[in-house]
Amino acid sequence: MTGSSPDEALRQELAALRLSIAEHNRCYYVLDDPVVSDAQYDRLMSRLLEIERAFPELLVPESPSQRVGAAPLAAFATVRHAQPMLSLSNAFESEDVRAFDKRVCDTLLEAGLLRAGELAEYEAEFKFDGLAISLRYEQGRLVQAATRGDGRTGEDVTHNIRTLRSVPLVLKGGYPEVLEVRGEVLINRRDFERLNQAQQERGEKIFVNPRNAAAGSLRQLDSGVTATRPLRFFAYSWGEIEGAGRSGLAGLPNEAVRAAPCATHAQMLDWFERMGLPVDQSRRVLKGAEGLLEFYRDVGARRADLPFDIDGVVYKVNALAAQEVLGYVARAPRFALAHKFPAQEETTLLLDIDVQVGRTGAITPVARLKPVFVGGVTVANATLHNEDEVRRKDVRVGDTVIVRRAGDVIPEVVGPVLEQRPPGTTPFIMPKNCPVCDSAIERLEDEAASRCTGGLFCAAQRKQSILHAAGRKALDIEGLGEKLVDQLVDSGRIKSLADLFALNADELADYDRMGRKSALNLIEAIDQARRPALSRLLFALGIRHVGETTARDAARHFGSMQAIMAADEASLLAVRDVGPVVAHSIARFFAEPHNREVINALAQAGVQALAVDEPTGQRLDGKTLVLTGSLPNWSRDEAARRILAAGGKVSASVSKKTSYVVAGADAGSKLTKAQELGVAVIDEAGLMALLDA
Ligand code: IVH
The DSSP string of 360-428 is T-EEEEEEEEEEEEETTEEEEEEE--SHHHHHHHT--TT-EEEEE--TTSPPEEEEE-GGGPPTT----
Name the residue of 236, 272, 295, 308 to mutate for ligand 1: max ligand atoms within 8 A of Cβ.
236
Q: What string of H, E and C letters represents the secondary structure of 42-72? A: HHHHHHHHHHHHHCHHHCCCCCHHHHHCCCC
Residue 254 scores a pLDDT above 70: no
Q: What string of H, E and C letters represents the secondary structure of 528-546? A: HCCCCEHHHHHHHCCCCCC
**How confident is the model at residue 251, as a pLDDT?**
36
Q: In angstroms, what is the span from residue 337 Cα to ligand 1's centroid?
A: 9
Q: Tell the residue nearest (CA) to atom 6 of ligand 1.
A: 127
Question: In the 8-state DSSP scheme, what is residue 129?
Answer: S
Q: In the chain, pLDDT over 90 holds for what percent of residues?
A: 61
Amino acid sitting at position 300: G
Concatenated DSSP letters of 338-358:
EEEPPPSEEEEEEEEEEEEE-
Orientation angle between helical segments 636-645 and 684-692, nearest 10 degrees: 20
Cα(88)–Cα(313) distance, integer angstroms? 11
Q: Tell the residue nearest (CA) to atom 18 of ligand 1.
A: 127
Q: In angstroms, what is the span from residue 249 Cα to ligand 1's centroid?
A: 24
Q: If DSSP codes are grouped into helix, strand and coil, which group holds residue 214?
A: helix
Q: Tell the residue nearest (CA) to atom 24 of ligand 1.
A: 87
Concatenated DSSP letters of 130-175:
SEEEEEEEETTEEEEEEE-TTSSEEEB-HHHHTT-TTS-SB--SS-
Looking at domain 343-453, what is its CATH homologous superfamily?
A: Nucleic acid-binding proteins (2.40.50.140)
Cα(269)–Cα(285) distance, integer angstroms? 12
Catalytic residue (choose from 102, 127, 473, 649)? 127
CA dihedral 50, 56, 58, 59 (to 10 degrees): 90
Concatenated DSSP letters of 296-318:
HHHHHHHGGGSSS-EEEEEEEES
Mean pLDDT is lowest, of 266-270, 276-280, 293-297, 530-534, for 530-534
Q: Give the strands of the sheet with 660-663, arranged side by side.
A: 649-651, 624-628, 660-663, 680-682
The yes or no reply on domain 455-528 and CATH 1.20.120.160 is: no
Q: In angstroms, what is the span from residue 271 Cα to ligand 1's centroid?
A: 19
Determine contact, residues 591/567, Cβ cutoff 8 Å. Answer: no
Question: Closest Cα to residue 69, out of 175, 149, 129, 159?
Answer: 159
Instruction: List the Cα angle 475/479/484 in 5-degree steps.
Output: 105
Ranges of CATH 2.40.50.140 domains, the chain: 343-453
Q: Is 660 in the pocket of ligand 1 (CB under 6 A)?
A: no
Cα(582)–Cα(473) distance, integer angstroms? 20
Q: In angstroms, what is the span from residue 270 Cα to ligand 1's centroid?
A: 18
Question: Closest Cα to residue 596, out of 644, 564, 624, 630?
Answer: 564
Question: Closest Cα to residue 228, out of 202, 257, 263?
Answer: 202
Name the residue of 85, 127, 135, 283 to mutate for ligand 1: max ligand atoms within 8 A of Cβ.
127
Residue 583, Cα to own-chain centre: how many angstroms?
Answer: 34
Q: If DSSP codes are grouped into helix, strand and coil, which group holds residue 625?
A: strand
Q: Is 244 in the pocket of ligand 1 (CB under 6 A)?
A: no
Residue 452, Cα to own-chain centre: how many angstroms?
Answer: 31
Does the annotation mark 127 as catalytic? yes
Q: Is 356 in the pocket of ligand 1 (CB under 6 A)?
A: no
Q: Tell the residue nearest (CA) to atom 8 of ligand 1.
A: 86
**How confident is the model at residue 354, as a pLDDT?**
95
Please report the sign of the dihedral spanned by the C-alpha atoms of residue 43, residue 47, residue 48, residue 50: positive
| pLDDT tens readout for residues 144-176 | 999 999 899 999 999 999 999 999 999 987 889
Nearest atom in ligand 1 to the alpha carbon of residue 130 is 13
Rg over CA atoms, the chain: 33
Q: In angstroms, what is the span from residue 149 Cα to ligand 1's centroid?
A: 13
Q: Is 624 in the pocket of ligand 1 (CB under 6 A)?
A: no
Phi-psi region of 545 (alpha: psi -120 to 50; beta: other; left: phi over 0): left
Q: Is 132 in the pocket of ligand 1 (CB under 6 A)?
A: yes
Q: Which helix (H) or strand (E) holds 126?
A: strand 121-128
Largest CA distance in the chain: 101
Whole-number mean pLDDT of the chain?
89
Name the residue of 123, 184, 277 to mutate for ligand 1: max ligand atoms within 8 A of Cβ.
184
Task: Read off the pLDDT band of 633 (50, 70, 90).
Answer: confident
Give mean pLDDT, residues 81-107: 94
Q: In angstroms, what is the span from residue 233 Cα to ligand 1's centroid?
A: 13
| pLDDT tens readout for residues 486-498 | 999 999 999 889 9
Residue 245 scores a pLDDT above 50: no
Cα(434)–Cα(222) distance, integer angstroms? 49
Cα(500)–Cα(507) distance, integer angstroms? 12
Residue 413, Cα to own-chain centre: how many angstroms?
Answer: 15
Q: Which of 199-213, 400-414, 420-434, 451-465 has the highest mean pLDDT?
A: 420-434
Q: Which CATH architecture has domain 624-692?
A: 3-Layer(aba) Sandwich (3.40)
Residue 256, Cα to own-chain centre: how many angstroms?
Answer: 40
Question: Closest Cα to residue 237, out of 189, 183, 274, 283?
Answer: 183
Q: Tell the residue nearest (CA) to atom 23 of ligand 1.
A: 87
**How confident is the model at residue 641, as a pLDDT?**
82
Measured from the Cβ of residue 104, the count of other Cβ atoms closer than 10 Å reads 25
Q: In angstroms, what is the span from residue 186 Cα to ligand 1's centroid?
A: 13
Residue 629 scores a pLDDT above 80: yes
Residue 1 scores a pLDDT above 80: no
Look at the domain 108-340 and name its fold.
D-amino Acid Aminotransferase; Chain A, domain 1 (3.30.470)
Look at the domain 8-66 and name its fold.
Helix Hairpins (1.10.287)
Residue 561, Cα to own-chain centre: how many angstroms?
Answer: 40
Give mean pLDDT, residues 453-460: 87
Q: Is 130 in the pocket of ligand 1 (CB under 6 A)?
A: no
Residue 336 scores a pLDDT above 90: yes
Per-residue CA distances from 599 to 112, 535, 541, 556 (Å) = 84, 14, 9, 19
Looking at domain 534-604, what is its CATH homologous superfamily?
A: 5' to 3' exonuclease, C-terminal subdomain (1.10.150.20)
**How confident is the model at residue 638, as a pLDDT?**
81
Task: Read off the pLDDT band of 116 (50, 70, 90).
Answer: very high
pLDDT higher at 5 or 382:
382
Q: Is 86 in the pocket of ligand 1 (CB under 6 A)?
A: yes
Determine contact, residues 570/493, Cβ cutoff 8 Å. Answer: no
Q: Is 88 in the pocket of ligand 1 (CB under 6 A)?
A: yes
Q: If DSSP codes are grouped into helix, strand and coil, which group holds residue 524?
A: helix
Question: Closest Cα to residue 642, out of 616, 624, 668?
Answer: 616
Residue 30 scores a pLDDT above 90: no
Q: Is 87 in the pocket of ligand 1 (CB under 6 A)?
A: yes
Ranges of CATH 1.10.150.20 domains, the chain: 455-528, 534-604
Question: Helices (H) and strands (E) in the chain — how many of each?
Answer: 25, 24
Task: Read off the pLDDT band of 611 (50, 70, 90).
Answer: low
Cβ neighbours for 517, distance < 8 A, ≥ 6 positions apart: none
Cα(280)–Cα(125) distance, integer angstroms? 8
Q: Within 219-308, where are the H helices?
A: 223-227, 255-259, 265-274, 288-302
**How confident is the model at residue 621, as a pLDDT?**
81
Measured from the Cβ of residue 305, the count of other Cβ atoms closer than 10 Å reads 7
Dihedrals φ, ψ of 448, to 5°?
A: -80, -30
Measured from the Cβ of residue 33, the count of other Cβ atoms closer than 10 Å reads 8
Give mean pLDDT, residues 362-380: 92
Amino acid sitting at position 225: V
Ranges of CATH 3.40.50.10190 domains, the chain: 624-692
**How confident is the model at residue 450, as a pLDDT?**
93
Q: Which helix (H) or strand (E) holds 554?
A: helix 548-558
Q: Within 473-542, where are the H helices?
A: 482-490, 505-508, 516-528, 534-540
Q: What is the pTM of this model?
A: 0.61
Q: Is 404 in the pocket of ligand 1 (CB under 6 A)?
A: no
**How confident is the model at residue 257, as a pLDDT?**
55
Partnered with residue 123 across adjacent β-strands are 285, 316
Measured distance between the N- and C-terminal CA atoms of the chain, rounded to whole angstroms: 74
Give mean pLDDT, residues 357-386: 92
The number of residues in the chain equals 693
Q: In angstroms, what is the span from residue 129 Cα to ligand 1's centroid?
A: 9
Name the residue of 88, 185, 283, 309 to mutate for ligand 1: max ligand atoms within 8 A of Cβ.
88
Cα(559)–Cα(553) distance, integer angstroms? 10
Q: Is 336 in the pocket of ligand 1 (CB under 6 A)?
A: yes
Q: Which helix (H) or strand (E) holds 234?
A: strand 231-242
Nearest atom in ligand 1 to the alpha carbon of residue 333 is 2
**How confident is the model at residue 244, as a pLDDT?**
64
Q: Which helix (H) or strand (E) holds 387?
A: helix 387-393
Task: Read off the pLDDT band of 42 (50, 70, 90).
Answer: confident
CA dihedral 96, 99, 104, 106 (to 10 degrees): -170
Q: Is 283 in the pocket of ligand 1 (CB under 6 A)?
A: no
Q: If DSSP codes are grouped into helix, strand and coil, which group holds residue 555?
A: helix
